[in-house]
Structure 1
Amino acid sequence: MVTETLLLAETVASGLRALVTADDAGLRLTARRGSRTLLRIRLGVTVGGRDLAAESRFRRASTRSIAETLAPRSGKSTTPRTSTHEELTVTLADASDREWSIDVRVAADGIALRYGVPDLQGLSTLDGEATALELDGFERAWMLAYQTWYETPRSGWDIPRLSSGAYGFPALLRGPEGEHVLVTESGIDGRYSGAHALVDAAEGVLAFQQADAVTEIARGAITPWRVFVVGGIADVVESTFVDELAPAQHRSVQDAGWVRPGRAAWSWWSDFYSGAQLDAQKHFVDVAARLGWEHLLIDCGWEETWVPEIVSYASRFGIQVHLWTVWHDLDGPEKLERLARWRSWGVAGIKVDFMESESKDRYRWYDSILQETARLGMMVNFHGSVIPRGWARTWPQVIGYEAVRGSEYYVFYNDTPLTAEHNVIQPFTRNVVGGMDYTPVAFTAPGRSTSDGHELALSVAFECGITHFADSVDAYLERPLVARFLAELAPSWDETRLLAGTPDTEAIVARRSGDRWFIGGIATGPARTVEVPLDRLGEGSFDAWIVGDALTEDGRGLTETSATVDQTLTVPVSRDGGFVAILTSAGGDLFRAAPVEPVALPLVPAELVELDEDGRAEIVVPAAVSVRVAPGWRATRLQAGRWDIQAPADLLPGELGVVTVEGGPTRGVPTVTPVRAVRPLCGTAPLSSLPMLAFRNESGPVERDMSNGGGNPGDGRRMSIAGQEYDTGLGMSSPAEAHFHLGGRAEWFDGAVGIDDETPATAAAAIVEADGKVLFRVDLTAGVPAVGFRIDIAGYRTLTLRTEPYSESAAHIDWANATLTTLSYPQQSGH
């Protein structure tokens, strides 16, 4: 290297200039606007144990202009637009004469860089990089302590008080003249591991630290983009630079019209165990339809038995169903096939949780999920996840990420309440880089310090492709102003504008849908009057409907105002308060929401058919509809209204598949009716190995080969009745019922029933019914040995196990060693 500073190459876009220089301290990227220096970034990378920057020589530089069209399906702006970048590639040679490169992208609102080894032979390792932003010249930072799922609180620090340590992206810095820099990454996939910020306060730098100490690499780009969004605070908030740097929309999702942004009802936050209750989910669908929402998310506890039914029920209103799952339940090709089965029922998307890693291996898992959901036409919402790094552009089915300390911390972590300060920082940091599934609007949150106006305003101030509202739908109906606003709230945004605020005071965000502007203002600190300039929304007067704080001492209560305003909106807010508003040009229509009325489902003569000994059945459906089957099944149209269904050869006796009959759409969503196709029973089988046709259970799902446990699936223990343990059977609560298909083939139902030792001092009744007829009934008391039974069920088509409570506390009933003995051939009904 040379002792004096040597300019190697430079490029400029919209007045933002990037210069790559070398001196005795090494390589550096500098960003300037006019005469001001905005960024000084140290450069360098270590590959295969060799510091490539050491003793490197400049070879050449090239530039090119890149203009690309973006047409997002969700995000802060879904209006198609063209992004223009200038790209500078600086090629150097290390001491061994191996060439390596630094790519620099410059746009009006940012600079990004990445490293490459274009001609790498075979494989090598990325051992580290020297990329570091020099912090001198910055005054303040807003950051969060790093964890791999990004759920620590965000706070602000003056730079001299910023401690050394690991911090998560994106990190926001402010310079002395109002310029801001947001530091993050983009363009990551399974070739890389993620990175976080490592601050060295003594040296005054913010460096990029890889999650994997060593990462295997091949030729080409060896790091994702290191991104620096630069500009005034509004420039940062409105920037789409992170998405622009990501690869273009993947060829497998060129037609992404099925990606549907919107609003979702979600019951888990208000009732942890409601995901196991079909009736609860139907109620949330009913209210979502009343409010005109588009989606239902069923969280932990759902059971395959009734998912096709809730999908069908919701489809009458044009509401799509999404299912929660854990990442390791989709890890590997066999488990990943579950997605295709769920999609065959009409499930529209997944919320996948607990990834909690930035490793290259985990990013390769993300790649598999992105590819498979794109292939199937399923939306995906990542929880317990990394931050957005541009996937919403490449894979538009990604409609949200968590990666934020959101409303679940009110109910899941009661000792860590959310603060208004934490909330106000989000629009300037985390939400800049992509959809943020904070799950807002939690009026019934315990220990809440924010005002009601603040909570309602989160629905606008925070953006996510699908906004999942935290509270019970009944909590919204009990607050008529809230219900009215959430019904009007647009499902997606044409553009976003920051009207006022700073990360330390308030965030007032305007989002446009068509000819209406929705404004959400959230504040931290004492009660005050907020003056909101409207000049960025257009000229002239606006008709406005404003819902804000009632200015009570505790911040509870809302009030509404209708007014015509010119270029300033004046709103009083409570302490840690907020407000929402809808604006149109004077004389426009502010209110347009209407409840969704249900439509008819496709009619089928039978919702259950039996397969013949070859695994085939014929189903009859309306002539104009189609059918969808799970992987391994085949559906062949015979003629209008008749289909031949072929089950996979490995479908066992008693098992079933779901054939989904798809009719005409409502609100763009096909109406669906599920038909179950069952392979007839044969031989002897534990009842717990057979599918249920339906069930209802007071506490969580009916459990297989374990006690009922709590309200979550799989949370029981080994069944135990009066100290006697059992390996097989069904664990139920009281009241409960479970229905099974017999098809006239079964002869005997054997087993023993009693109250599990996990619910002492309880009592209940256990009943066995066949075709609605009571065949067996016994009263049970906790601590008493199980009652054995052998029941003749010859000729009956359905079997129902039912429990009724006798005590104030629910009893948990074990149907221990429950077994069906069946005939080889159907028996004529004799009952």
Structure 2
Amino acid sequence: MSDDVRPRRTGAGEVNAWIDNPDTGARLTVTRGDELLRVPLGFSVDGTDLGTDAELVHVSERTVGDRFTLRSGKSAGEHDYEHRESVHTFRAAGGVEWQVILRVGRDGVALRYALPALDGTARVTGERTAVTLPAGSRSWVLDYQTWYETPRFGVDTAELASGAYGLPFLTRLDGTTHLLITESGIDGRFAGAHVRAGEPEPGGGRTLHFTLADESVEVARGVVTPWRVFLVGPLAELVSSLFVEELAPAVAPELAGATWVRPGRAAWSWWSDFYSGAQLAKQRHFVDVAAELGWEHLLIDCGWEETWVPEIVAYASRRGIQVHLWTIWRDLNSPEDLRKLALWRSWGVAGIKVDFMESESKDRYRWYDTILTESARLGLMVNFHGSVIPRGWMRTFPQVIGYEAIRGAEYYVFFENQALTAAHNVIQPFTRNIVGAMDATPVAFGAAGRTTSDGHELGLSVAFECGITHFADHVDAYTARPLAARFLAELAPVWDETVLLAGDPDTHAVIARRAGDRWFIGGIATGEARVIHVPLDRLGAGPDAQVWIVGDASPGPDAGDASSALGLMETTVTVTDAVEVAVARDGGFAAIVAPAGADVFRAAPRPYHPAPAVHPSVAEVGADGTALITTDAGARLRLPAGWTADRVTAPHPHQAGGPHQAGGPHPADGPHPADGPHPADGGAAEIRWAVRPGAGLRPGRLGVVTVERDGDGVVPVVAHARVVSPLTAGRYAMSDLPMIEFVNEDGPVERDQSNGGGNPGDGGPMRVAGQEFERGLGTAPYSEAHFHLGGRAESCTGAVGVDDESTGRARVSVLADDREIFAAVVEAGNPVTTFDLAVQGVRTLCLRSEAAGPDDSGVHVDWVDTTVHVTSVNR
């Protein structure tokens, strides 16, 4: 063996590693003082094992270092690292060359495989990579599931069942040294992996084998696997480690300055009010309370409707709050579907929560590649749910501000008999949260069947880290607990540093996170009521630091099992080295540490910013293909894809008024977002814009133009105008026309189906008195559906009745420019009531329904075969 292929020790600090090639095949040895691991190396290509009977032909070494910036995470800001890298080239018996690329950093070791001379493609069918856990070790694991939502639990190696386990996999090797196994640097070139535990071995050990999610993976020349990562060291070092991010690819130059990525705290209504995502008024309330608490974001989960999303974006922007929308991955799974992202961004939406990917396959990772690239291009933040675990994307794609991949608070909603345990929670900071943002939606005071204390729930707000923390409970549940509300208002939106102060995965976790000169501490415990010792020396807060603690009220041994009802109490102390905190059974606490003389409390409600002026709120496209709108002088436009706008510097042929400048009605439940100084009122200087829609805007259809003005930091204040392509001669089913606004008691107004329940698209066939109808609108009183006619229609025909899915009576009416032109009372079991209405010159038509009496709540009204007739367009 020549000198250049002899095994070399590669080290960084206390961690060392080397690769050699004994008779049993290529292997990796890892030490930290003593020898910790021996890992057999290699993989199978087209059924051929490349790890055994392989000749080591070359070794190259280098130092790899970089500086990178994290926008969120356990330690936002700039970071430097330096790894020792060695590339070991082997030649298999059949002549195939393959490589092991080894990296050693401060916190651990990583390896990946490559085929440097592959001609064409091949299929990887398995790996030799394996880790043997020593007898007497203990692990914290979860049963493998491609979306990582099974409970985590602790188990001695001797009791570990054979089977598949998800990453990250944590093992205590001895009294202080721990091993965390995970991955980094994955993309659509490969599939994810998990580990499979074999049968018990002589002496009590157990071997974990890396196992691919796909039976085989097609690969091309070059690197063919992600990094297999082995973090080693004390728990405190693992909790603070950024090794997974260090191994990930560098950010693209165009994303290096992504200051639009905004970490923070979010209000989220789905958990506490399942169908609230369909209710504009409820979302406004969540915005109002979030603004008073100083939070940064609002997530609207399933049920939102594109008619009013621009309205809530505008409403929230006045308080510096950004809106995120929930969607399902399969609805973003084609080039046509991906256009939705650009559309939502054009409304001013700041981010998306994508759900139900539930796969580790190479094919699904190729989908992730597409979403990551497109969301980065558009400037959309992304929160992945029903997803894989983090593998370093927060460095490569800083817009990724969250992943689920945890059994979080939503399990209280669907599985009350499988409530989250304190033991499950305590494991997370030592396992799942080490590798990246964890959207567990914490602080669920209102959870049915909860066994954790209020202090435990509040402590989760710090103990669990996510780029944007979505609080589970109703915002009113927080304001009803003043101490909780005060802490969550103070809670920092982004962390500069993370430190483990105390704990063990079996007993408790006390995590400290720094923001500026203050430290926030979250303590969560499992087991009996007790006093937890919290050392503060690692925080450097100085002598006589101020500590404000919000913990369990009456946390003594007499609390019994009713700890969740104990409530909260506050304590303020001045300390230097440590504090002792009493917690209830399955209890916890939250705290703020500030230097002596500094302000502990700094929160303030978010300021109000007036909306930019825009007029008219609904503008029609004229004969020249443009629509004219007027805005504040300091405003700018955000347009749908394919649209253009030019400033009008000379009198425009449209500015004298007419159908192309038709103003829309104000929403029934609040002021219109476009309210502001009207040009006729002699307001501030203005800009006139000639907006030219894209070629695809068909007659009767509309698009939304977003008007932006600088507001609070990265959040512009916005208003909207709708641009409508005027109706041409013909018949238009109203279920095919866009609404310019709607109000509906239960979910959205449904098209060509009954109202159903609170979700979009959950109705059935429209059926009145046994007669079924294919076309129409399903509503739940009180409801209003507004349509823009622009003065071009001659008549509106149709019928209305109570759907057979409900009982009761309703008063229904049709309004033409706010003037009632039809009214009737309809009752369950009766045939539909028909109408034929003249609507010449009517600009806005409204279909309204309301319960006829107090006993008629829950009645559903179908507007069937409603049709607008246009015979002439010369108006």
- Paired with 2:643 and 2:713, the residues of 1 have a C-alpha distance of 29
Matches within 5 A, 1:299-698: 299-538=301-540, 539-551=542-554, 553=559, 554-555=562-563, 556-639=566-649, 641-682=687-728, 683-698=730-745
Query: Residue 277 of structure 1: CA displacement?
Result: 0.3
Deviation larger for 776-785 or 703-712: 776-785
**Letter matched to residue 729 of structure 1:** G
Q: 2:25 matched to 1:15?
A: no
The offset of 1:615, in angstroms, is 3.1
CA distance in 2, matches of 1:138, 1:589: 49
Partner Cα separation in structure 2 for residue 540 and residue 395 of structure 1: 40
Distance (Å, rounded) in 2 between the aligned partners of 1:615 and 1:361: 43
- 1:746 partner SS: coil
Q: Which of 73, 89, 92 is matched with 2:90 structurally?
A: 92
Give, in whole Å, the separation in 2 of the partners of 1:115 and 1:177: 32
Q: Which amino acid aligns with 1:221?
A: V
Q: Partner residue of 1:816?
A: 864
* Aligned partner letter, 2:782: P
Q: How far 1:808 sits from its partner (Å)? A: 4.0
Deviation of 1:9 after TM superposition, in Å, equals 3.4
What SS class does the counterpart of residue 71 from structure 1 fall into? strand
Q: Is the 8 A contact 2:25 2:53 kept in 1?
A: no
Give CA-to-partner distance per residue, 1:595-641, whole Å, 9 cap, x none: 11211111123111110134311221112211011112112233471
Name which of structure 1's ranges 362-371 and 610-619 shifts more when overlaid on structure 2. 610-619
DSSP 3-state at the match of 2:229: strand
- Is the contact between residue 615 and residue 648 of structure 1 (CA under 8 Å) also seen in structure 2? no
* Residue 10 of structure 1: how far off its partner (Å): 2.8
- Verify the 8 A CA contact 1:737 1:802 in the aligned structure 2: yes
> Are the aligned partners of 1:628 and 1:635 in contact in 2 as well (CA < 8 Å)?
no
Give the distance between the partners of 1:109 and 1:54, measured in 2 at CA: 29
1-structure distance, mates of 2:778, 2:802: 10
Question: What's the offset of the Cα at 1:551?
Answer: 2.1
| Deviations, residues 668-691 of structure 1 (Å, cap 9, x unaligned) | 311111000001112211000111
In 2: Cα distance, 1:240 partner to 1:107 partner: 10
For the 8 Å contact 2:346–2:706, the answer to whether it is kept is: yes
1:415 Cα offset (Å): 2.4
AA aligned opposite 2:96: R
1:478-517 per-residue CA deviation (whole Å, 9 max, x = no partner) reads: 0100111100000000000000000000000000000000
For residues 235 and 10 of structure 1, what CA distance do their matches in structure 2 show? Answer: 22
1:797 aligns with 2:843: yes
| Counterparts of 2:74 and 2:838, CA distance in 1 | 64
Which stretch of the first structure deviates more once superposed, 309-318 or 659-668?
659-668
Alpha-carbon contact 2:280-2:312 (below 8 Å) kept = yes
Contact 2:609/2:711 (8 A) holds in 1: no
Report if the CA contact (8 A) 2:151-2:424 is conserved.
Answer: yes
Query: In 2, Cα distance between the equivalents of 1:658 and 1:498?
Result: 48
Say yes or no: does 1:743 pair with 2:790.
yes
Q: Given residue 175 of structure 2, which amino acid in structure 1 is its aligned partner?
A: E
Within 2, Cα distance between the matches of 1:287 and 1:255? 31
Structure 2 runs not aligned, ≥5 long: 650-685
Deviation of the 1:138 alpha carbon: 5.5
Q: Secondary structure at the match of 1:58?
A: strand
- 1:245 correspondence with 2:247: yes
Letter in 1 for 2:743: R
Aligned to 1:787: 833
Report the CA distance between 1:121 and its aligned residue.
1.1
CA RMSD of aligned residues (A): 1.3
State the alpha-carbon separation in 1 of the partners of residues 76 and 777 from structure 2. Answer: 50
What runs of 5+ residues in structure 1 fail to find an aligned partner?
none
Q: In the alignment, does 2:816 pair up with 1:770?
A: yes
- SS at structure 1 position matched to 2:366: helix
Q: Can you list the C-alpha shifts for 1:219-251, whole angstroms capped at 9, x where unaligned?
A: 111110000111001111111111110001123
**What is the deviation of 1:362?**
0.5
Name the aligned partner's letter for residue 39 of structure 2: I
Match of 1:157 in 2: 155
> Distance between the aligned counterparts of 2:119 and 2:474, measured in 1?
58
CA drift at 1:809: 3.3
Q: Partners of 2:447 and 2:161 in 1: how far apart?
A: 32
Q: CA deviation at 1:11?
A: 1.0
The alpha-carbon distance between structure 1 residues 402 and 736, as it changes in their structure 2 partners (threshold 3 A), is same
Aligned to 2:753: 706
* Cα distance in 2 between the residues matched to 1:563 and 1:448: 30
Contact 1:541 1:567 in 2 (8 A): no
Work out whether 1:280 is the aligned partner of 2:282: yes
Once residues 837 and 497 of structure 2 are traced to their aligned partners in structure 1, the CA distance between those partners, rounded to angstroms, is 66
Cα distance in 2 for partners of 1:62, 1:824 equals 80
How far 1:202 moved relative to its partner? Answer: 2.9
Q: How far off is 1:586 after superposition?
A: 1.3
- Render the CA deviation track for 1:755-781: whole Å, top value 9, x for unaligned: 11111x322111111111111111111
* CA–CA separation in structure 2 for the residues paired with 1:319 and 1:331: 29
Give the total of aligned pairs. Answer: 821
**Aligned partner of residue 794 in structure 2, secondary structure:** strand
- Separation in 2, partners of 1:762, 1:147: 47
**Counterpart AA for 2:482:** P
Distance (whole Å) between structure 1 residues aligned to residue 470 and residue 287 of structure 2: 13
Letter of the 1:329 counterpart: D
Q: Whole-Å Cα distance in 2 between the matches of residues 624 and 533 of structure 1?
A: 53
Further displaced range: 419-428 or 538-547: 538-547
- Aligned-residue identity in percent: 58
Q: More displaced, 534-543 or 556-565?
A: 534-543
> Partners of 1:368 and 1:293 in 2: how far apart?
30
Alignment-derived partner of residue 682 in structure 2 = none
Report the TM-score, using the length of structure 1 for normalisation. 0.97
Contact 1:453–1:547 at 8 Å: present in 2 too?
yes
Asked if structure 1 preserves the Cα contact closer than 8 Å seen for 2:810 and 2:856, the reply is: no
The alpha carbon displacement at 1:24 in A equals 2.6
TM-score between the two structures when normalised by the length of structure 2: 0.93
AA at the equivalent of 2:751: R
Equivalent residue in structure 2 for 1:208, among 202, 207, 210: 210
Looking at structure 2, the residues matched to 295 and 826 of structure 1 have their Cα atoms a distance apart, in angstroms, of: 47
AA partner of residue 634 (structure 1): T
Which segment is superposed worse, 653-662 or 411-420? 411-420
